[in-house]
Amino acid sequence: LSSAVENIIRNAIRFTPEGSEVEVRLFRENDAALIRIRDHGPGVPEEALEDLFEPFFRVDETRGKENDGTGLGMAIASTAVSQHSGSI
């Protein structure tokens, strides 16, 4: 799970505007832990949400020198969370 949280936080930091914050909150709900990560970046277009957790998927606007990831972070996060019977 640490790799899942790390990947999501890394993306949040990468895409949030300089000078704004990335919020990370941990909640307990019944017998579950909820982690809420919020950034103030441009977000993901509605039409891309379905593919967001597919390996190597990248939203076109994220391409560029400063955002040169491989498109694996969200897929890794999704797999790790699923293996712990969670959802993302």
Whole-model pTM over 0.75: yes
- In 3D space, the residue among 71, 34, 81 whose CA is nearest the CA of residue 51 turns out to be 71
Q: Which two tokens stand for residue 81?
A: 């969370």
The dihedrals phi and psi of 35, each to the nearest 5 degrees, come to: -115, 125
DSSP tag of 52: T
pLDDT in tens, 51-73: 999 998 888 755 554 566 778 88
Q: Where are the domains of the chain?
A: 2-83
User: Are residues 41 and 16 in contact, defined by beta-carbon separation less than 8 angstroms?
Assistant: yes
- Position 14 scores a pLDDT of 87
- Position 26 scores a pLDDT of 96
Look up the CATH number of domain 2-83.
3.30.565.10
pLDDT in tens, 4-57: 999 999 989 988 899 999 999 999 999 999 999 999 988 888 998 889 999 988
